[in-house]
Amino acid sequence: MERTTTIAGVRVRVAEARSAGARIGLVPTMGALHAGHLSLVERCRDLADLVVVSIFVNPTQFGPGEDLDAYPRDLEGDEAALRALGPAAPDVVFAPAVDEVYPRDPVTTVSVRGLDQVLCGVSRPTHFDGVTTVVTKLLNIVQPDVAVFGRKDFQQLTILRRMVADLDVPVELVGGPIVREPDGVAMSSRNRYLEGVDRTAARALSRALRAAVAAARAARAAGEVPSSGVLRDAATVRLRAEPGARIDYVEVLDPDTLAPPPDGADRWLVAVAAFVGPARLIDNVVVGERADEDALLAATDDR
């Protein structure tokens, strides 16, 4: 595993591999790596011959007053975690400085309209433009055949899929399942902000999703089709029951379009966001996708 901090450096390494016939994979991250990130690297290793992990805390996706300065940075620790993957470790860690990625004020940005106006886009109005622009840059720098993203950031993945389709970017995007702590809390670099009662309160998000899955299963058992309203209410009641969590949103949407689910839908994205202590946390499940439901239920503490 080698580290490069320059665009030229990563391009040389990728060009060498490509000319030898290698399939190139990219896993973009902001570092402070946890098992969720590492699962994406392992997935990428299965799909590509040369695996590049980028570690870059992208300032343009943080809004004013957000946690850009506080965001955890630990390149040495991240590299140790990647190396510990052994045969699944990436070949290249691309860890550029801000000036390398943004040598001048960019006047060109990439924007995916509409999909960025719901869910996290409401409380973070500039966030997704920052994401789509930096991911476009990373895709242009590395030019991977495949790029792996987590379903933890479901809206981000949906937006990136649409961006790649609309702009004919020659890359396959793969979504990896959410990795959870043993008590059900979705792993997140921002969990490092949580201590004591806040960490306990963070369980409310996955519990709310579990309540939605339970409501869907109860409806099905009664021979009914679950409705968006029932899923939303079940999740909302459960999240409201936690005084340590302040709801940002509880939404039930079509997982492909992020629009209200049509009549006759058989898959529903249930997405939640809440402020817990100093952190804003998100989580989701796709009701109607059995594997996603089961993974959520398997990891929770509600016994």
* 121 CB-near residues (< 8 Å, 6+ apart): 115, 127, 128, 155
Q: DSSP 3-state assignment of 239? A: helix
Q: Does 121 bind ligand AMP (CB under 6 A)?
A: no
By the rule CB under 6 A, 179 interacts with ligand AMP = yes
Interface with ligand AMP by CB under 6 A: which range of 29-37, 77-85, 115-123, 250-258?
29-37
Q: Which amino acid is at 50?
A: L
User: Hey, which residues between 139 and 178 contact ligand AMP (CB under 6 A)?
Assistant: 149-150, 152-153, 176, 178
Compare residues 156 and 265 and give the one whose CB is closer to ligand AMP.
Answer: 156
Q: Which residues contact 274 (CB under 8 A, 6 or more apart)?
A: 204, 205, 239, 245, 246, 247, 248, 280, 281
Over 184-234, what HEC string results?
CCECCHHHHHCCHHHHHHCHHHHHHHHHHHHHHHHHHHCCCCCCHHHHHHH
- Contact stretch for ligand AMP (CB under 6 A) within 2-10, 31-39, 227-235, 243-251: 31-39
Out of 40, 231, 271, 285, the only residue in the binding site for ligand AMP (CB under 6 A) is: 40
Q: What angle do CA 90, 295, 25 make, to 5 degrees?
A: 20
Residue 188 makes contact with ligand AMP by CB under 6 A: yes
Size of the site for ligand AMP (CB under 6 A): 17
- How far, in Å, CA of 237 to CA of 86, rounded? 44
CB of 130 to ligand AMP, least distance (A): 11
Q: Does 29 bind ligand AMP (CB under 6 A)?
A: yes
Respond yes or no: is residue 37 known to be catalytic.
yes
Q: Binding of ligand AMP at residue 37 (CB under 6 A)?
A: yes
Q: Which stretch binds ligand AMP (CB under 6 A): 4-12, 17-25, 28-36, 254-262?
A: 28-36
Q: Do residues 44 and 51 touch, judged by C-beta distance below 8 A? A: yes
CB of 233 to ligand AMP, least distance (A): 26
Between CA 56 and CA 68 the distance in angstroms is 12
- Closest residue by beta carbon to ligand AMP: 150
As a whole number of Å, the CA-based R_g of the chain is 19
Contacts to ligand AMP by CB under 6 A = 29-30, 36-37, 39-40, 149-150, 152-153, 176, 178-179, 186-189
